[in-house]
Structure 1
């Protein structure tokens, strides 16, 4: 009896049994806060969290210099706009960093999300070649003050 109570209170029960049941319920009946209808709407904050935990974000981190500036949806994609800097010193120029995510992808979606990244020169509006951005210097960490 004690082992049954211990198993029922453990996190293993939640991970192995209850979490898959919750995900199945969400897929079948939809999320209770989004209402009934076609494609479900994911909050922008959830898309930002998903982006910031992705490999695409960590790869572009040396270029990105702002928080989310703007967002919009187009053809099923959620576009997230950040500002950034390409180059160093006198050669540094501002760029717009655009991430495109599937607008219906959330944390409960299985698999890694597809994220597309584009860099656009903020002054000219011309795309910046990815090869140029590979040469971007790594962002230095701030010194810890004791």
Structure 2
């Protein structure tokens, strides 16, 4: 039995299990009311009561289709269900983007590419199961059990990977391991505050206001020394050229912002009170 024939033949098992899982939750899940309310159905149907009824009806349809697939019947209903899911998800994404899929749980995760991926598996699996070359699934497993189990397991893991319900079981632990043993995501981020950010804060601080009328340039130079970041600006006081110097504390021992005005010609530090504008 060729690979493609075997792949088509096992679809009733995988897709049927998906639909049975989703349908059983929609009919008997403890949080179906919450799941229906978080979906786009209330917006689509106009009320939460109708949304819950439609939600349960969808679950019943999924269970019926799953039973047909398990029985070996070739039916277009699987393709119709898959395409219906895709259309519904597209509506939810466009009209109620914050809504959840509500497929198998009351998860708050909004409709995303993973929801579309699961619906696509249902639709494509339904097409494959209808192909004339597909044999009943039990014959496929009987002809090549090892390959059939491998394909079914791989596709099932793909479905589980596309289900946010299981993120806490595999995705979060995987991320924790990546952070523990892998390259740290902040390794390329500088461990000092960018100069542009320091200048932005200085130019909006109370220390900047008294000397703002003197400054005639943007930031000219900056450097770090002994826990301070020094920023310099050019300016004029009457007919004299001056340099306005800000010292910004960068550690717990150097807190706050200090400002000095230096006359360029003499190097004299001019007291701040001398050039504050009159009130």
TM-score (norm 1): 0.57
SS at match of 1:79: strand
1:74 aligns with 2:225: yes
Which is bigger in relative contact order (C-alpha 8 A, separation at least 6)?
Answer: 1
Q: 1:118 aligns with which of 260, 263, 278?
A: 260
Distance 1:129 1:77 in 2: 21
1:59 aligns with 2:221: no
**Count of residue pairs the alignment pairs up:** 101
Q: Say if 1:42 and 1:104, in contact at 8 Å, map to a contact too.
A: no
Larger relative helix fraction? 2
SS at match of 2:217: coil
TM superposition outliers: structure 1 runs of 4+ over 6 Å: none
Which sections of structure 2, spanning at least 5 residues, go unmatched? 1-33, 39-97, 100-107, 109-183
Distance 1:70 1:77 in 2: 14
Which sections of structure 1, spanning at least 5 residues, go unmatched? 9-28, 106-112, 139-146
Distance 1:65 1:34 in 2: 33
Higher Cα Rg: structure 1 or 2? 2
Equivalent residue, structure 1, for 2:248: 101
